[in-house]
């Protein structure tokens, strides 16, 4: 009887802990989904930045990566200016 009681307590503890882990994993995975759903990303270019001109020899993925890098740098600069 003591063994059955001990196994029941351990099983319930494992279920509760796994439920909490699954809940926190879902929360962390989908926390930004609500913030991004339905929004368009608008990229603004400043005149001080140079973006490579497109021609037929350029790699489009490289161009997208460069534009994304410029956008992220601008966003981080804005965040730094807001905090100071």
Q: pLDDT tens, 40-79?
A: 666 666 655 454 554 555 677 888 888 899 999 988 888 8
Please tell me whether residues 9 and 47 are part of one structural domain: no
Global confidence as pTM: 0.35
Neighbouring CB atoms inside 10 A of 55's CB total: 6
Please tell me whether residues 35 and 48 are part of one structural domain: no
- Please give the residue range of the domain that contains residue 48: 42-84
Please tell me whether residues 2 and 32 are part of one structural domain: yes
Question: What is the pLDDT at residue 3?
Answer: 92
Whole-angstrom Cα distance, residue 80 to residue 78?
Answer: 5
Counting the structural domains of the chain, the total is 2
Whole-angstrom Cα distance, residue 19 to residue 25?
Answer: 10
Please tell me whether residues 53 and 19 are part of one structural domain: no
Digit-coded pLDDT (tens) for 20-32: 999 888 877 776 6
Nearest to residue 53, comparing CAs of 39, 67, 41? 67
């Amino acid at each position: 009887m003591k063994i059955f009681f001990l196994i029941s307590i351990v099983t319930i503890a494992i279920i509760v802990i796994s439920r909490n882990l699954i809940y926190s994993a879902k929360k962390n995975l989908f926390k930004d989904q609500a913030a991004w759903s339905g929004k368009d990303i608008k990229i603004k270019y400043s005149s001080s930045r140079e973006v490579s001109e497109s021609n037929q020899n350029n790699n489009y993925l490289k161009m997208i990566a460069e534009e994304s890098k410029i956008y992220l740098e601008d966003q981080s600069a804005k965040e730094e200016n807001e905090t100071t």
